[in-house]
Structures are given as C-alpha cells and as structure tokens.
A and B are shown apart, each in its own frame.
Chain A
Amino acid sequence: MLARWYWPWLVMLYVIVITLAVMVAANRHEARQLFVEVQQLERDRDQLNATWSRYVLEQSTQLNQLHVESRAVESLNMQKPVADNTRVIRE
C-alpha cells in the first residue's frame, strides 16, 4: 500500500513545495510593488493635502475684508446703502 503510493505522493509533495515556493516569491514581489505604490499614493495624498491647504489659505487671503471691499467699490462701483436709501420690508 505504502509502496504503491510512495512515488506519486513524493512527486505531488515536490510539486506542491515548488509551487508554494514560487508563490511565496511572487507574493513577496507583489507586496513590494504594492508597497511602492502605497508610498507613492501616500506621497500624492500629502502633496494634495498640501495643495489643498494652500488653496484654503489663498482663498481666505482673497476673501480678506479689505480686499473684497476695495474690489467692490473700485471694480464693481458698489456702495454701502445709507439709511435714506434703505427700505425695510416686514412680513
């Protein structure tokens, strides 16, 4: 019984061992590649974060009251209504 299955068993085990060995190597390789990708993505994320916070800062600088007021007055010819020009509508 044992003698009869000895060789097939051995061959099969060999095949399994080698397959697994190759898979380990392949997985390892894939993990490395994915890691590189993760790092790249993290770098991208940080870059985007940096850009985003710069935009937020720029936006709030642009929204500076002084800036908005002077632009409204100079380029759009707007003015603050005085009391005489104000109507109050009550519902």
Chain B
Amino acid sequence: MSRRKLPSPLFQGRRRFLMLGLVGLMGVLMLRGVWLEVFEQEKLQQRADALQNRVVTIPAYRGMILDRNGDPLAVSSPVENLSCNPSQLLNARQNLRDEYDIARQMGEVGEAQDKAQAKQNSELAALKFVKLENSFRKIEEILELNPGELLERLEQARDKSFFYLGRQLPPEAVQQVMELDLEGVESSQSYRRFYPLGEAAGHILGMTSIDGHGIEGIEKAQQSLLAGKDGKKRVVLDAKRRIIENVESIEDMIPGQSVQLSIDRRIQFIAYRELKTQVAKLNAKSGSLVVLDAQTGEILAMVNSPSFNPNNRKELSPQQYRNRAVTDKSEPGSTLKPLTLAAALESKVINPNVSIDTSPGHLNLGKYIVRDKGNYGIISLPTLLAKSSNVGASRVALMLNPRDHWMFLSRLGLGDYPNSGFPGESPGQLSNYASWGKIDRASHGYGYGLSTSLLQLAHAYAPFAAEGKLVPLSIYKVNKVPPSPNVMSAKTAKDVVKMMESVVTEGTGKRAMVDGYHVAGKTGTAFKFINGKYQNDRYMTSFIGVAPASRPRLVVAVQIDEPKVNDSGGLAAAPVFSKVMAEALRLMDIPPDNVPHLKQANEKQDQIKQGGAT
C-alpha cells in the first residue's frame, strides 16, 4: 500500500497551482540571477570595486641633502595627515557624547544589577569620548590653534565630504585617534622636511611646499632627483574604510636619492653667525658672504642676512628668501681694481714694477672727475691697491686696449651666468667694449659702470688662487676637477696676490689679517647710483681676499649693503672676512704659512739637504 499508488483525491488542482507558482517564482529569481550575473556583471563589479577597492599612493621618501662631509642638511621625517568626513565624525562624536552623559548620570544615580552591561558599554563610550577630546586638544596644540577651534572648523565644514583635521602631524598623535576606530576618519602618510642648520643655510637649501615639492634653492633645482617616484597600490577596504588586503602593486615606489653639496656645514654656520652679527652691529640693510675653494670651484659656504628659517614657513616674506649673493647685482667698486691690474699685466702694457703717477689726486675726463682721498704722488702697484687709488686704477685702465680689457673681464665670467646650479642667477652687466667711451674705460678700472653678483666677483678672484685657472663653479661636491681654462698666466696671478698682500699688511684692509696665515685681498666701497646720481650716504662695502697668500686656496668675499654706521670696506667687511677665513682655513686643514717657527724649520731643512751633499 504505497502512497504513490493512491493518488490523493483531495485538492489536486490546488497542489498543481501551488507547484506551478513556486516553480514560476523560482524561475523568475533564477532569470534575474542569470541577468545580473551575465549581462550586468561588469557594471556591478565596477560598482563593488569602486566601493571596496581603492588605489593608494605610497609617498616616496625624499632624499637627504648632505654637506661635503656627509652630514645632513635636510632630512625628511615621516608624518601623518589626518582627514575625515566631517558630518560622520560629528555624528560619531555626538553619539559618544550622549553615551558619556548617560554614563555620568548613571554613575551619579548608582546602578542596579541588570543594567550592569549597559553601564559597561556606556563607560567604554565615555572613555572613547574623553580620548577623542584629548586628541583634539593635542592636534590643536601641535597646529597652534586655540582650544575648541578645531571643532568649530569641523562644524563649518559639516556639509563637505572631506576635511583635513591636521596635516603633517606626528605619527604618535595620529595613532591615538586611529585607535578610537571612528567612522569616517582616515590617515595617510607623508613626509615633512627638517633643516638642522635652520636659517644658516636657508638660502642654499631653499624649502619644500606642504605637498613636498621643492620651491626654492637646491630643493627646487634638484627636485626630480630628490623626490623619487611615488608608488601606487590597489587595496581592499572594509566597511569602516580600513585596508584589509593588498591586491596588487601598480607602481613601485622609488625612494629619492641623496644630493651631496660642496657646502661645509661648519663653515656655513660660522659664516652665517659672523655675517649676521656684523649686519646687526652696523644696522645694515643686508649682507652676503661666499667662501670658495679656488682649486676645485666648490662653494664651501654661501650666506645672506637677513635669512629665513625653512623649518618655519609661517613668517616668510619674499624679500627674505632672495639669495642675494646669487640674484642681486651691484657695482663692485674698488674690489675690481686687482682685476684691472691683472688685465694690464696680462696684456703687457705694464710690468709689476712700474710706478703710477697719481698726482694731483684727481683726473679730469671732460665733465667727469675721478678723485682720490688725497694726493698720493707717484706710487707702486702694491701701494695703488693699498691706498685704493681711483686715479691710479683709471690711469692703468686707460693704458689698456678696451678690447683686451673687455676680453679679460668676460673671460673671468663677468656679464655671464655663473652656472653654479642655483635658480635665479644674475649674469651681472658688462657692456660691449665697442660702446665704451673714455669715461667708461676709466670707471671700469675702479669698478663702476658694470655690475656683478657677489658670487661672480668671488669667482673672478678664484684664478688668483688657482695659478690663473678659472675652475667652473659648483654647489655640488666635486670629485674630479673639470678641465678649466687658463684666464691669466700663473705669474700674473702670483704677482697680483703679492700686491694684494700689502692691502692687508699696510693698507685699508688691516682688519682682514688672519693669525698664522698670509692673506691677500682688497677692500671696496661702492656708492649707489640712485635717481641718476651717486649717493654719498648709501653704499655697499665689501672685502674679497684669498689665503694663504703663499699657496692660495680659498676665496672669501664679504659684502655689506648700506651700513648705517659710517664705515668703509676695511672696517665693516674685513673683520668678518678675517674670522670666516680663519675658521675655513682651519676646518679645511690648510697648513699655515705665517708661523714664526716655519722659517726656522725651512732653514733647518735646507741645512740638512746641504749636509747630505757634503
């Protein structure tokens, strides 16, 4: 008596109807499934991916900037940006706050057993609320906002979908907020740049924008090398927008490379300190200083005052971050006289032993009169430099063929970009000799009518310290000295250095002396040409020199703009030169050539040699 054999007599029609209905329903659902799976699949997959997958950039580590000894001048340190969806965060905060209030009330009332669980939950929320508030305070503290300001800003941004709670925050502070596990809060990694030398190297290094692009100085010039390349990866997010899986790496991150400069941070620091002190003491408008290694063309230090601190972007004016030593040109004044003498010696219109007649202390050139401070009479070339005679320099310049004079000055790089690798270089100004009249020829002799940047001028002195070779300038460390043109004979270079020594030993530059070394240099005072006339009270004072004079190696150029205290080059700039040169010579391990025992030692050596011969 099986059931099959006995068809149920009852409700046969209903059963069939029900069966049909169910099968039909299933069919519809399956068709829908097939529809979604087959025809809509691509579209839906895309939507899901958009929701769950995300491409995240991995910021590249920005390379360090190092000094010549490998000490860091600019270092990137990881920081985090904290961002949120304002309304989500505000809602979450409100919820936590409600819980917090409840928890407090409960705490006050004292509670029955059955609500223990609820109480525990509320307390947890309350704790979170307190933590959140503390984190807010902390972020405000880091960003230097007033207490409560962050919340106000958040409230203002309520209808936006994205808001930076803070950028470049320390990782620990961000970690605290992330641990609260709030909806709509995200963190992303980035780097912040730190400059240990601060304002002492601000002009050289420049700085980066908040997005990490170099916008000044070396940071700008070497942007592509330093920056490296950001990586990209695809990740899967969960409902709370946390990363739960790395799907694939789209682009590998390539970290930035380090850049090594020719700067010595110790010299740089001392140079800045000395210059800043002097500029403040003289109440000057500004000042610049360049230290060169003439043998390799390397810039060992370059500072300007006023400077800026690249660690602190807030208080910056464009006027502060101009690298004056490179971008500003001015008439050099007397510091050009050694170049005039060198030009004359090179083209053989004079020899080193000639005397120049400077009486009666002035020189009439038609409407224009060249004046000295007094009547020096007939003087030798060293005295000409020591007294800084304008008449003498003019006489020598007038002996020169203008073409030779022009050729010599442009060979030294005047009127041309120095190509040191800095953005915004000034080429200075040197007009073509074809347009030179008698007055131009004379005034070029003592440094007027043409202009240079301080870096150019320092570079033009380099051949004196490199046997007449002009080694190309470099701000990057030089491992192999590039082929360099000879711009004057080694003998001329030596002769002019010898003449410049007398400036320091007996002339206007006595304060430039360096203990233990022979120093050669030239003072300069250049009056400013404003409103069609030279101003008596506004001038630039400078000192450029080489040391050690017997075997020159370093060039130091100091320029101080508009000192208010009445001073000429010898008084204002020379002391800075002396201090910086002394430290630079010591730090570069250059043996002294002016110590009392040196002579004896040399004599002894000679005796020994003779002894060996007999």
Contact = CB atoms under 8 A, between A and B. Distances in A.
A46 B265 CA distance: 28
Contacts of A32: 244-245
A74 interface: no
Interface in B261-277: 265-266, 269-270, 273
Given A84-B595, A88-B592, A90-B605, A60 B196 contact: yes
Given A49-B78, A57-B75, A86 B595 contact: yes
Interface string B267-302: 001100100000000000000000000000000000
A50 B78 contact: yes
Contacts of B243: 39
Interface bracket on A: 20 to 34
Given A39-B243, A47-B171, A64-B269, A88 B77 contact: no
A90 to B, nearest CB: 7
Given A60-B196, A82-B515, A50 B595 contact: no
Contact of B516 (A39, A47, A86): A86
A35 interface: yes
- The residue in B76, B243, B586, B592 that gathers the most chain A C-beta atoms within 10 A of its C-beta is B592
Given A50-B171, A53-B75, A53-B194, A88 B270 contact: no
Given A46-B78, A82-B515, A35 B246 contact: yes
Nearest to A47: B171
A21 interface: no
Contacts of A84: 595-596
A53 B291 CA distance: 29
Contacts of A38: 246
Chain B interface secondary structure, helix, strand, loop or mixed?
Answer: mixed
- The residue in A66, A87, A89 that gathers the most chain B C-beta atoms within 10 A of its C-beta is A87
Given A60-B71, A83-B596, A53 B515 contact: no
Interface string B245-257: 1100000000000
A31 B78 CA distance: 28
A65 B270 contact: yes
- The residue in A64, A80, A82 that gathers the most chain B C-beta atoms within 10 A of its C-beta is A64
A50 B269 CA distance: 26
A31 B247 CA distance: 11
A86 B273 contact: no
A36 to B, nearest CB: 9
Nearest to B514: A83
A73 B171 CA distance: 39
Chain A interface secondary structure, helix, strand, loop or mixed?
Answer: helix
A50 B174 CA distance: 14
A70 interface: no
Interface in A52-68: 53-54, 56-57, 60-61, 63-66
A83 B595 contact: yes
Contacts of A64: 196, 269
Contacts of A83: 515-516, 592, 594-596
A84 B597 CA distance: 8
Given A35-B244, A38-B246, A57-B194, A86 B77 contact: no
Interface string A11-53: 0000000000000000000011001001100000011011001
Contacts of B273: 65-66
Contacts, number: 74
Contacts of A88: 591-592, 595, 597-598, 601
Contacts of B596: 83-84
Interface residues of B, number: 34
Contacts of B171: 46-47, 50
Nearest to B605: A90
Contact of B597 (A56, A57, A86): A86
A89 B61 CA distance: 47
Contacts of B516: 82-83, 86
B72 interface: yes
A88 B601 CA distance: 8
B78 A53 contact: yes
A86 B266 contact: no
Contacts of B420: none
Interface string B584-600: 00100001101111100
B320 interface: no
Contacts of A80: 586
B275 to A, nearest CB: 14
A88 B591 CA distance: 7
Given A57-B194, A88-B591, A88-B592, A35 B245 contact: yes
Contacts of A50: 77-78, 171
Nearest to B80: A46
Interface string B204-248: 000000000000000000000000000000000000000111100
Contacts of A53: 75-78, 194
- The residue in B71, B194, B196, B246 that gathers the most chain A C-beta atoms within 10 A of its C-beta is B196
Contacts of B419: none
A58 to B, nearest CB: 9
A25 to B, nearest CB: 15
In order of increasing CB-CB distance, the 6 nearest A-B pairs are: A83-B516, A60-B196, A53-B77, A65-B269, A86-B595, A83-B595
11 contacts: A35-B245, A38-B246, A46-B171, A47-B171, A53-B76, A56-B75, A66-B273, A87-B595, A87-B597, A88-B598, A90-B601
Interface of B: 61, 71-72, 75-78, 171, 189, 194, 196-197, 243-246, 265-266, 269-270, 273, 515-516, 586, 591-592, 594-598, 601-602, 605
Given A83-B516, A83-B596, A88-B598, 7 more contacts: A38-B246, A46-B78, A49-B61, A53-B194, A66-B273, A86-B592, A87-B595
